[in-house]
Structure 1
Amino acid sequence: MIFSLSNLSPTPSLTTAYLPESKSKLPSASASEPSCPPEPLARRFKPSPQLNRWSRARTIRSGRKLERVVQLPGGEMDSSNSSPVSNNGNDGSELRLLSPSHESGSNGDDLTDLTAGKSIYMVSDGTGWTAEHSVNAALGQFDYCLVDRACPVNTHLFSGIDDVERLMEIVKQAAKEGALLVYTLADHSMAETARQACELWGVTSTDILGPITEAIASHLGVSPSGLPRWAPGRKNSLNEEYFRRIEAIEFTIKQDDGALPENLLKADIVLTGVSRTGKTPLSIYLSQKGYKVANVPIVMNVGLPRSLFEVDPEKVFALTINPVVLQTIRRARAKSLGFDDEIRSNYSEMDYVKEELEFASKIFLRNPIWPVIEVTGKAIEETAAVVLRLYHDRKNRCSMPRISKRY
């Protein structure tokens, strides 16, 4: 059976039951009122599609509804089975409680024309980190057709959604836009409400958190709490791991670019390599995962700190890069810093780049325990994954490479 608001009984439905009484009981427009022909609209400046997308995204994320009522494929609005419901919001916009297949706007504009692509709504009762990163990981499989190519996508994150009424408004907006809705709702009743509402309004949806939570509950033989990770009612929301991560970030910032070499022995991971091999961004990324990281630059004819060779060699990771790529990065860096021609020639000319890489390679050969990691063409996340896999493999002496963690 196909559900729509036009064939529901007068009893409160899932979508209207959670609206305030003042909204759900407003009278519908009288069918006997004379219809007046629309007045011609004044000529206005038409913004670019990109500005429209930005404005629309800000409107959605602020919790307000779009002022335009759209017409989606499926026929005209049946006014006898629907009634307008005032938004009563700060912006005075109007939202109509209609089945998506019967909803139309006064101007007949198609909202999909404004988006220039399909939309994905991400709904979370917490920060939305899990939903956002899951969607981004999945979108990585479609990078051949995204952005200005065959299938552009707009994502919209709704975080802190902890009451049903706000959830209903988002589902209705997704129905209007024809968006995909993915959600991570720890409360089982909220997740079930989202599923039923999406089914009722014809919104394609995916529960990211539910299946894995149920599987773990079955595996452990206990029930989940149903509270978001950062909920006030949860114990240890600011636990030892959180403060350890903050401490690691502070340590890493202080140890950047060879500062305080006497503290290298306190580091969990030490990165070394020539200038512009990505040591600093990689260090900061790793520190956000709770690792104290120090990085030591290798500069030709400049001695390295003694503590680098006193630290446990299994904690040291050497970074190298293709000389052509390194020269390109250094030229851009020198230009942005305003180096004069003499300094620029020493820093970014190919002969000097190759000589400095060879100088670093000799140091790496004298310390064969240091793994040499090629960073050319790799994202920070990719290099970090290699570093952490080697770090944990050495630390735990596992027969199969893994990153282990105890909860």
Structure 2
Amino acid sequence: MEKPPAPQRFHLHLVSDSTGETLEAMAKAALVQFEEARAEKHIWPMVRTARQMERIMEFIEDRPGLVMYTLVNEDIRRELTRHCSALNIQHVSVLDPVISALGQFLGAQSRGLPGRQHEMDRDYFDRIDALHYTMAHDDGQMAHDLLSADIILVGVSRTSKTPTSIYLANKGFKTANIPFVPNAVLPPELYGPLNALVVGLTASPDRLVQVRTNRLRSMREAPSTAYVDMEAVKLEVLACRRLCSDNHWPVIDVTRRSIEETAAAILRLHSAREASSHQKEKE
């Protein structure tokens, strides 16, 4: 049997004039496409002066690799590209194609201000407001106040309702989550007129039993209740699906989804709902 190829290790330098979060996320998204690659990341945030750039380039010269950057200041960019070219180090500005496309589409020129996405503008405060709402409406709390929600998650236990809600809140969506418990009455507000998208979350019984059993063991509780009984869990999942079907709520199976993937699916449903409402208003 052939041995799998050894991981390809390399230095990856991420240079930003802001926090570097955008750059790091883009690098992470690209790296997953190369399974054999093992990047040793060097993150250089808040680079605002030529002197800072010189020190960084001294480090990069000793550890050459790929340089990815988000620098809007032309002087700082010029320093980086000059040094990289002299050292024959590959470098790429990851936002240039996007900014260029936006400029062409809008017929305008970018303002070239670093860190604008992190300013405390209206969007920032909307996200903070959404996070406060979401934390206050976690696990069925304050169910009387669902009219302000953008998204409501209804799901069986251990389907990552809370982390998914927080992820959506960081995107600016006020998200409440309500647990589905067999034979328990759900808040009547859930069936009233709502502005929110209601989504059901389920998972395969096998997966739920596994996760719940591990949860009980970590809490030093005996895993011998209906909470982890396979037949009971199957009926629980079926009942949750039936509830969602009766109320025309879309259902997402999170068995093989990460929190990010679940949130992306929810946001697609939300966008489709918004588009449908907009179309009806036009008609």
- Identify whether the pair has TM-score above 0.5, normalized to the shorter chain: yes
Deviates further, 385-394 or 210-219: 210-219
Q: What amino acid sits opposite 1:377 in the alignment?
A: R
- 1:313, distance to aligned residue in structure 2 (A): 7.8
Distance change in 2, residues 1:376/1:204 (3 Å): same
Structure with the higher fraction of residues in strand conformation = 2
User: Is the Cα–Cα contact under 8 Å of residues 174 and 180 in structure 1 kept in the other structure?
Assistant: no
Distance change in 2, residues 1:399/1:309 (3 Å): closer
**2: CA distance, partners of 1:353 / 1:374:** 15
Matched, 1:380 2:263: no
Partner of 1:244: 126
Secondary structure of the 1:264 match is: coil
Secondary structure of the 1:123 match is: strand
Deviates further, 388-397 or 240-249: 388-397
Match of 1:160 among 14, 30, 46: 46
Matched, 1:204 2:90: yes
CA deviations 1:296-351 (Å, max 9, x no partner) are 1000111111011114386100111111111111111111122235xx43221212
Alignment of 1:216-235 (within 5 A): 216-230=102-116
User: Is the Cα–Cα contact under 8 Å of residues 175 and 202 in structure 1 kept in the other structure?
Assistant: no
Number of equivalenced pairs: 272
Matched, 1:348 2:228: yes
Partner of 2:207: 325
Q: Any stretches of 5+ residues in structure 2 without a counterpart?
A: 1-7
- 1:398, distance to aligned residue in structure 2 (A): 8.3
Partner of 1:119: 11
- 1:230, distance to aligned residue in structure 2 (A): 4.2
**2: CA distance, partners of 1:158 / 1:214:** 24
Partner of 2:177: 295
- 1:171, distance to aligned residue in structure 2 (A): 2.0
Partner of 1:213: 99
Partner of 2:275: 396
Match of 2:65 among 179, 184, 190: 179
Structure with the higher fraction of residues in helix conformation = 2
Partner of 2:165: 283
CA deviations 1:16-39 (Å, max 9, x no partner) are xxxxxxxxxxxxxxxxxxxxxxxx
Q: Any stretches of 5+ residues in structure 1 without a counterpart?
A: 1-115, 146-150, 401-407
**1: CA distance, partners of 2:195 / 2:106:** 39
Partner of 1:131: 23
Tell me the TM-score normalised to structure 2 length: 0.90
Distance change in 2, residues 1:238/1:399 (3 Å): closer
**1: CA distance, partners of 2:85 / 2:63:** 15
**2: CA distance, partners of 1:399 / 1:307:** 25
User: Is the Cα–Cα contact under 8 Å of residues 150 and 195 in structure 2 kept in the other structure?
Assistant: no
Deviating beyond 4 angstroms after TM superposition, the runs of 4 or more aligned structure 1 residues are: none
- 1:399, distance to aligned residue in structure 2 (A): 10
Matched, 1:255 2:137: yes
Q: Which has the higher contact order (CA 8 A, sep 6+)?
A: 2
Alignment of 1:39-118 (within 5 A): 117-118=9-10
Deviates further, 315-324 or 213-222: 213-222
